[in-house]
Amino acid sequence: MKKSYCPIDTFINTVKGKRKGTIILHLYQGDKRYSELVKLLDDISERMLTKQLKELESDGLITRTVFPEVPPRVEYSLTELGKEIHPILKGMYKGGILFEKVIDVKPTTIR
């Protein structure tokens, strides 16, 4: 996490990325195994999912727990910081729905 000129930019720069907000929203519903996240986020590659999870972990929003089993089991969960930003992401989700309604109604013009 890198501090920006404005706290809004710091927040956006931390949660922007391929499906980071969606990952946080899914983890708010409960801890998830890696394979569950792969199924929930089937529109991104596993490589990209792994990258986003590592970034979220390094920013202190999620924790990764490895269980010493055969085969190894990995679970992801939200940290307290990750739980604190949930209402903000939920608001952004609702805002996205509002914008999508406008996009669906807006006539397209070709120039």
Domains defined along the chain, listed by start: 7-105 (1.10.10.10)
Supply the pLDDT for residue 14: 83
Q: Which residues contact 40 (CB under 8 A, 6 or more apart)?
A: 26, 32
For residue 5, give the 3-state DSSP assignment.
coil
Mean pLDDT of 75-90: 94
- Please say if the pLDDT value at position 110 is more than 70: no
- pTM summary value: 0.81
- Please say if the pLDDT value at position 45 is more than 60: yes
Amino acid at 104: D
For residue 79, give the 3-state DSSP assignment.
coil
Residue 72 to residue 20: CA distance in whole angstroms: 24
Residue closest to 54 by CA, chosen among 34, 81, 30: 34
Residue 57 to residue 63: CA distance in whole angstroms: 6
Amino acid at 96: G
